[in-house]
Chain A
Amino acid sequence: MKKLKVIQILIVALMFILSSCSNDDEQPLKSTNYVLVHGAWQAPYAWQAVKTNLEKQGNTVIVVELPGHGADQTAPGEITLDTYKQKVIDAISAIDGKVVLVGHSLGGMIISSVAEAVPEKIEKLIYVAAYLPTSGQTLDQLAHMDPDSHLGVEGNLIMHTDTFTIDVKQDQIVDLFIQDGTPEIQSLVVNNYRTEPLIPFINPVTLTEQNFGSVKKVYIKTLQDHVISPYLQNKMISTTEVESVYEINTGHSPFLSQPDALTSLLTKISNN
């Protein structure tokens, strides 16, 4: 009996696949090249679950480790936004064909300047709770247009001039980045925390209509975000032309709190 049921399901599935093939509107999932760019105070570890999910679906995924993050030992005093941009361009150049370029938070500044430099390599930009700048803007400038962000609470940011880095207050890490995660995930974020190079926060991006403007953009809003509030996210979305906007009901790090839901969204967007 049980076997019969399995066969029935298989037949139904097969019929579905066949009917999908005959229907022009419903393409089978294609394989996509993803390049994922993490944000400030984070590193590739944060995207591991989403990477694994996407790879299981047959996609290729590169998570770029930004200089001065994760295990990279570049001195913060030598790092500018251009340093990040170049690292991402190097990763993209190694891939045959176009990529879906995903940026989180600070990563939004980076993928924007990458799209300006190599628009022909980019199928789509996906901003996940990311800064979406206009030409001439810096991250610092965007951040202080955000009265709801917990980054602006006095004392939450600490700058070190000897190492030229900026920290968030230790006891605010969870509230800022992962207030909606399990205790295990919260510990993961705290344990992987590293101080952040400051200079890239004050490097403006230069973007043009011909290059950056020609690349399709999608924004995934995070509705419980304490770093980039929905207010600023909406503001940025209304300033730059975005093809479509999706929502996910998480804090600043959906790839950690709801990796499966985020994976589904990314897949849906890439196949649209």
Chain B
Amino acid sequence: MKNSFLLIAALFITTFTTFAQNSKAKNTNTIVIVHGAWSSAGDWQHVADDLTAEGNSVISVNLPGHGSDKTAVSAISLNLYVDAVKKAIGNKQNVILVGHSFGGIVASEVAEQLAPQIMKIIYIAAYVPKSGESLLSIAQTDAESHVGKNLIVDEKAGIASIKKDGIADVFLADAPKQVADYVSNNLRPEPLAPLATPVSLSEGKFGKISKVFVYCLNDHTIGYTLQQKMAKDAGIERLYALPSSHTPFIMFPHVLAQIIALEAK
């Protein structure tokens, strides 16, 4: 079997079938998606559409300074991200927070601050911090990651970039060339400060929220070993594993949507 059969099946549906729009009974839960670094809400469009078609209410938050948002780098902080997600949640109850990559850091801090409103956190190849940790402090322990050798930090401008010829390998080694090329040509530099900002979490709030982890097995951004360690340290027992690069929303949008839908019930 040269490729994972899931991958073959995923290509099959992407190419030949459209998602059946069978609206199911609407439930009262709200799924809130928090994208990662060097990403934006747009990357989650297919997953969000699938979830909406299944009758879920979905908010895909676009963090300041990402996608088409023009907030200046100097104005951006982890708090600003957290506030953007909190604002999107408002007074909604039964929220399922979905965090991808760096979005796991943001989602964890939001969950701490809005604990009574959060039903569950779903980490998708995401950082699961302990109190006092930042993305950078965790990422430094990751011997399998390809980010280190491709990272360009511009401290003066307050941004971090990935070498252009390393982007496909780091984020989406399993994607078709035209998709990889498009992403490589359109990646925006990432504001640096939030990546170095530690979170403040408590056992009584964050610690008590039910958590799920979706592993990406062929991830060059966050190594599988670190993913497993973070899930284990956080006591996460509900686990999924996709034969995917760091960006499962590109090659496995339907599978990912189904996992989120199942966990959001």
Query: Which A positions have Cβ atoms within 8 angstroms of B?
Result: 77-78, 80, 82, 136, 138, 140-141, 143-147, 149, 151-152, 154, 157-162, 164, 166, 198-199, 201-204, 206
12 contacts between A and B (CB under 8 A): A78-B265, A82-B238, A136-B228, A140-B4, A140-B6, A140-B243, A143-B4, A143-B5, A152-B2, A159-B9, A161-B50, A162-B19
Q: How far is the CB of B24 from chain A (nearest CB, A)?
A: 9
Is B262 within 8 A of A157, CB to CB? no
Q: Does B143 contact A (CB under 8 A)?
A: no
Q: For residue B228, which residue of chain A has the nearest CB?
A: A136
Is B226 in contact with chain A by the CB < 8 A criterion? Answer: no
Q: Quick check: is B239 within 8 A (CB to CB) of the other chain?
A: yes
For the complex, is B80 an interface residue (Cβ under 8 Å from A)?
A: no
Q: For window 1-48 of chain B, which residues contact chain A by CB distance below 8 Å?
A: 1-6, 8-10, 12-13, 17, 19-20, 22
Are B1 and A198 within 8 A (Cβ)? Answer: no
Contact among A158, A162, A199 with B240 in the assembled complex (CB-CB below 8 Å): A199
Q: Looking at the complex, which one of A77, A144, A161, A164 makes contact with B4 (CB distance below 8 Å)? A: A144
Inter-subunit contact B239/A203 (CB<8 Å): yes
Q: Measured between C-beta atoms, what is the minimum distance from B138 to chain A in Å?
A: 19
| Cα distance, A148 to B265, chains bound together (Å) | 39
Separation of A199 and B261 alpha carbons in the complex (Å): 12
- On chain A, the residues within 8 Å of B20 by CB distance are 161-162
What 11 additional pairs, Cβ within 8 angstroms, besides A140-B6, A152-B5?
Answer: A78-B265, A80-B238, A141-B241, A144-B5, A149-B1, A154-B8, A157-B5, A158-B9, A159-B9, A161-B13, A202-B6
A residues less than 8 Å from B5 (CB atoms)? 140, 143-144, 151-152, 157
| B234 CB to nearest chain A CB (Å) | 13
Chain B contributes a number of interface residues (CB within 8 A of A) equal to 34
B258 an interface residue at 8 Å Cβ cutoff?
A: yes
A77 touches B262 (CB 8 A): yes
Contact partners of A151 in chain B: CB under 8 A? 1, 5
Q: Which B250-265 residues have a C-beta within 8 angstroms of A? A: 254-255, 258-259, 261-262, 265
Cβ contact within 8 Å between B255 and A198:
yes
Question: B249 at interface (Cβ–Cβ under 8 A)?
Answer: no
Given contacts A144-B1, A157-B5, A206-B237, contact A77 B243 (CB under 8 A): no
How far, in angstroms, from A154 to B19 measured CA to CA in the complex? 22
Query: Which residues of B are at the interface with A, using a C-beta cutoff of 8 A?
Result: 1-6, 8-10, 12-13, 17, 19-20, 22, 50, 215, 217, 224, 228, 237-243, 254-255, 258-259, 261-262, 265
Contacts of A144 in B (CB 8 A): 1, 3-5, 243
Q: Is the CB of B241 within 8 A of A147?
A: no
Tell me whether A202 and B255 are in contact in the complex, defined as CB-CB below 8 angstroms, given that A140-B6, A147-B2 are known contacts: yes
Q: How far is the CB of B192 from chain A (nearest CB, A)?
A: 33
A235–B20 alpha-carbon span in the complex (Å): 40
Q: Is the CB of B8 within 8 A of A157?
A: yes
Given A77-B262, A158-B12, A202–B1 Cβ distance below 8 Å?
no
Residues of A within 8 A of B258 (CB): 77, 161, 164, 198-199
**Chain A contacts for B261, CB-based, 8 A:** 77
A204 to B240, CA, bound (A): 6
Contact between chains at A157 and B9 (CB < 8 Å): yes
Decide: A203 and B1 in contact? CB cutoff 8 A: no
CA–CA, A82 to B237, complex, Å? 10
For A141, the chain B residues whose CB sits under 8 A away are 4, 217, 241, 243
Q: Which residues from A are CB-within-8-Å of B9?
A: 157-159, 166
Q: How far is the CA of A164 from the CA of B238 in the complex (A)?
A: 19
Q: Could you tell me the distance between the alpha carbons of A180 and B5 in the complex, rounded to whole angstroms?
A: 25
Instruction: Specify which of B1, B19, B242, B261 lies most central, judged by the most chain A CB atoms within 10 Å of its CB.
Output: B1
Cα A267 to Cα B8 in complex, Å, equals: 41
Complex CA–CA separation, A146 to B12 (angstroms):
21
Taken together as a complex, chains A and B put the C-alpha atoms of A160 and B262 apart, in Å, by: 16
What are the residues of chain B within 8 A of A77 when measuring CB–CB? 258, 261-262
B237 to chain A: which residues have CB within 8 Å? 206
**Whole-angstrom distance between the alpha carbons of A159 and B12 in the complex?**
8
Query: Nearest B residue to A136 by beta-carbon distance?
Result: B228
Docked-complex contact B239 and A204, CB < 8 angstroms: yes
A residues in contact with B262, CB < 8 Å: 77-78, 80, 199
Query: Which residues on A sit within 8 Å (CB–CB) of B8?
Result: 154, 157
